[in-house]
Structure 1
């Protein structure tokens, strides 16, 4: 095991045991180095890894805000990882589509069984209201579309699903936008997407899990088919 991995294992064990919590701070470099019998550069390397993984946030200096603070930002590192693998063509777009269908249809189905999501539904509808502007550029439309789908996934109440969906949408946004020229009529496509979004919300609000899942599946697969992405 490399020295910096000793630090990662140590932090993982402390988090699992409750000795470290969100908002808490890691011990200083010198203390960790002495405790684990490794060099301070190895500790610094580990902290950089933890920051890249979204586990800590660091601030330099000697004040009360200095050091490495435990945070929980899983979507950022997952987004970076997905982007890199998409760039290498290691993750085919069609596989991404299938994953989105699997996760989002499940989330919509779960959301339709809940009775406590009305505020979140209204927030999602506010995004759709903005997207109804016929003069909105495709790039802005798709940024709002990404927000809508992340919000939709959050309705299921599963934090991990929401984080994965946020990463997926962020990672593929550029590919989706690049596909717009492949659409024969963007204005007609936008009208169809708006109607499909409203149909998803209506199914969830009606408490119809099967219809909600079906609407989401048809919506995702239909766009990728029209854009010739998958």
Structure 2
């Protein structure tokens, strides 16, 4: 008997039933990081869906970074909930950025919220780990850097500070926005009449931000990173965020 359109729609949506079940189990504490999911056969039987729908749901969860799967038998086989889904979150943001799903002004405003919070959090730490940030600052001092190379390091510095804050959500968000950040700051180079002078100013601002963080001056760190971000947009005539 031919499959009806209603049956086709139901089949196409069946994998969502699996996702919703796993989400509910996570929210209610029946599943957690490191736990193994039931077998495909058991999930299909208990939820009344086909095994192909279970496999589709598991693929979605794996792409999202919430699940890892292994074949064969043993402790690493099957589908296991992961404890660090940052990679999936970053990947989803990068896809949205690639599809031009975020207006530039929204990216700018989000950076201001996240990075001022990062600066304050780092400044309030007793001994923040800033080795990666210092290494990037040293790399940015190289005279032979092209504007593109300099600005890639610039984005790496901001991501390194986010990672040093220890806030995994902020770090994942910054990683996901990194492509967008690199793209628009590079687009702004053409609008800056004296790039060498601008690069010198950016180096000084970066050093001042890291110094304020290291000295524990949270207010100065917040102000410096806010002015650093908005200042570049103003100089490049890209955006004038009000936040």
Decide: shared fold, TM above 0.5. Answer: yes
Q: 1:99 aligns with which of 110, 120, 124?
A: 110
What is residue 62 of structure 1 aligned with on the other side? 72
> Per the alignment, do residues 139 and 153 of structure 1 end up closer, same or farther by CA in structure 2, a change over 3 Å counting?
same
Q: Higher Cα Rg: structure 1 or 2?
A: 2
Stretches of structure 2 that go unaligned for 5 or more consecutive residues are 1-9
Q: How far does residue 43 in structure 1 lie from its aligned partner after superposition? A: 0.6
Q: Which moved more, 1:38-47 or 1:144-153?
A: 144-153
What is residue 181 of structure 2 aligned with on the other side? 172
Q: How far does residue 227 in structure 1 lie from its aligned partner after superposition? A: 2.4
Q: How far does residue 88 in structure 1 lie from its aligned partner after superposition? A: 5.4
TM-score (norm. length: structure 2): 0.81
TM-score (norm. length: structure 1): 0.85
Question: 2:199 aligned with 1:190, yes or no?
Answer: yes
Q: How far does residue 11 in structure 1 lie from its aligned partner after superposition? A: 1.6
> Per the alignment, do residues 130 and 50 of structure 1 end up closer, same or farther by CA in structure 2, a change over 3 Å counting?
same
Stretches of structure 1 that go unaligned for 5 or more consecutive residues are none
What is residue 22 of structure 1 aligned with on the other side? 33
Q: How far does residue 152 in structure 1 lie from its aligned partner after superposition? A: 1.4
What is residue 207 of structure 1 aligned with on the other side? 216
Q: How far does residue 74 in structure 1 lie from its aligned partner after superposition? A: 4.1
Q: Distance in 2 between matches of 1:130 and 1:160?
A: 27
Question: 2:229 aligned with 1:220, yes or no?
Answer: yes
Q: Distance in 2 between matches of 1:63 and 1:136?
A: 51
Q: Distance in 1 between matches of 2:119 and 2:200?
A: 22
Q: Distance in 1 between matches of 2:98 and 2:191?
A: 20
> Per the alignment, do residues 183 and 76 of structure 1 end up closer, same or farther by CA in structure 2, a change over 3 Å counting?
farther
> 1:45-124 alignment to 2 at 5 Å?
45-59=56-70, 61-64=71-74, 65-72=76-83, 74-86=85-97, 89-117=100-128, 120-124=129-133
> Per the alignment, do residues 87 and 62 of structure 1 end up closer, same or farther by CA in structure 2, a change over 3 Å counting?
closer
CA contact (8 A) 1:79 1:171 kept: no
Question: 2:52 aligned with 1:41, yes or no?
Answer: yes
